[in-house]
Amino acid sequence: MAKIRILVLTSSTGGGHDARAQAFAEWCFQLYRHKVDVRIEQMLEKSSVFNAAGVNFYNWIQKKMPILHTAFYAFVELLSLLNQKTVLLGRGYYLEILKEYQPHLVFSVHDCLNRGYFQLAREVLGEKNVRCATYCGEFSGGWGYSINWIEPTVDLYISRTPTARDFAVKKGIPADRTSVRGHLMRPLSLLQVILPEEKAKFRVKQLGLKPDLFTVFLATGGNGANNHLELLPALVRHADRCQAIIICGKDRDTYNELIHWRANHPEFNCFVEGYSEIVHLHLQVSDAIVTRGGTTTCAKALHFRCPIIFNAFGGIMPQEQLTWKFFHNGAGSQKIEDTADLARILSNWLSHPEHYEQARQRFLDLRYEEDPTLVIEELVNLAGQAADTSLKKLPFPPRNGNGSIAPYATR
């Protein structure tokens, strides 16, 4: 059986790009099963020692010293000059993949994997035999929106918000090739829904927490950048009224320290986890999340109605500025630069619940509902043009025999 082949270009600078690549692959299988073949490539890391070093340095900055990222970001912007018409660094590996895999669609979910990559794909495979698309996860435009996202020859440019889409058009993307599709989360995230009446039960049975305390989610990305131990004193002072869900990503040292901390603070209720595959469930049972401005986590928080407190310890990285700006301007979301800032926000919300409800409502006003299969269908159809075929997607979500959708069971 002939298949549509889609090559997804990503890189592990943070966790958001890889999360979107994974979500896309899972959606393709959910909707088209074996008719669509998705190949995900960590193109920067695998193609060049220099690129791999840059990825590692980016992740080190994010964990240890975010303030340095302004200079690093400016340096990375120079790639827009290096890859204007073709790929130079890592060219050999990319050429090998193109020739061996023969994709019908090259789909980039990373800013540094657009310019040059699309032109080289067309040169190798032929204009009629391949299409190129970009999914940009930024929430708004301005400083921090990498020029490397902007490749005017793209066949389809997908933005997360109308604000970000307008900025892309301003910078050179043809308006008639753009689309606004907000969600690109895993199918499982949208299937596993905790009903309001089940929230308290999930806290108790699954997390070992109290059913009715104000619950703060201390989150981090996959690489584990966090300030959990610095933030916990602000929570402990309200131990009779609040509790915490804490995840550590792949930071094993922080996880070990938190386990030790929890053993010595029996007065405070908290659930501690390392790398989490159920962030979507944690969000649904939390009243607020403390996180850096990563686009994937913040998009999930918005979808699952969990107000964001932005972690700005050590400064806000340029890309994170775009997320912070969107939520601060649109919902008045607050940021914290030290422990005292979090203590102030929590004291206000816990002493004046109406202030929390007002903040939460402003946050919810930014939400939008969308059929999550639309963006997948658009991309598969685009690939189908090059493959000279069309596919019909399967219905989603899967339903019970009576036609109903089964919610996530907390029992």
Closest CA to 298 of 271, 272, 316: 316
Residues of the chain with CATH 3.40.50.2000: 189-364
User: What average pLDDT does the chain have?
Assistant: 90
Confidence of residue 223 (pLDDT cuts 50, 70, 90): low
Confidence of residue 222 (pLDDT cuts 50, 70, 90): low
Higher pLDDT, 283 or 189: 283
Q: Which one is the CATH code of 4-184+372-387: 3.40.50.150, 3.20.20.70, 3.40.50.10320, 3.40.50.2300?
A: 3.40.50.2300
Residue 410 has pLDDT above 70, yes or no: no
pLDDT digits (tens, 9 = 90+) for 352-391: 999 999 999 999 999 988 889 999 999 999 999 999 999 9
Residue 55 has pLDDT above 50, yes or no: yes
pLDDT of residue 398: 63
Are 132 and 142 within 8 A, CB to CB? Answer: no
What b/e readout covers 81-98, taking b as 16+ CB neighbours within 10 angstroms? eebeeebebbbebbbebb
- The 178-180 sheet, strands edge to edge: 36-42, 4-10, 105-108, 131-136, 156-159, 178-180
pLDDT digits (tens, 9 = 90+) for 293-306: 888 899 999 999 99
Structure tokens at 361: 């409502």
pLDDT digits (tens, 9 = 90+) for 140-171: 999 889 999 999 999 999 999 999 999 999 99
Q: What percent of the chain has pLDDT over 90?
A: 69
Residue 402 has pLDDT above 50, yes or no: no
pLDDT digits (tens, 9 = 90+) for 4-18: 999 999 998 877 888
Total residues found in the chain within this entry: 411
Q: What is the mean pLDDT of residues 309-338?
A: 92
Count of CA atoms in the C-beta half-sphere (13 A) of 333: 31
pLDDT of residue 179: 95
Q: What is the mean pLDDT of residues 13-25?
A: 88
Question: Which DSSP symbol is given to 409?
Answer: P
pLDDT of residue 103: 97
Confidence of residue 404 (pLDDT cuts 50, 70, 90): very low
Higher pLDDT, 100 or 191: 100
pLDDT digits (tens, 9 = 90+) for 258-303: 999 999 999 999 999 998 889 999 999 999 999 988 888 999 999 9
Three-state DSSP class for residue 96: helix
Q: Which fold has domain 189-364?
A: Rossmann fold (3.40.50)
pLDDT of residue 80: 67
Residue 216 has pLDDT above 70, yes or no: yes
Measured distance CA(86)–CA(103) in Å, rounded: 18
User: Which residue has tokens 């204009």?
Assistant: 127
Closest CA to 220 of 311, 325, 110: 311
Are 126 and 88 within 8 A, CB to CB? Answer: no
pLDDT of residue 74: 78
Closest CA to 138 of 186, 82, 180, 191: 180
Q: How many H-runs (helices) and E-runs (strands) does the chain carry? A: 18, 12
Confidence of residue 411 (pLDDT cuts 50, 70, 90): very low
pLDDT of residue 123: 95
Higher pLDDT, 252 or 198: 198
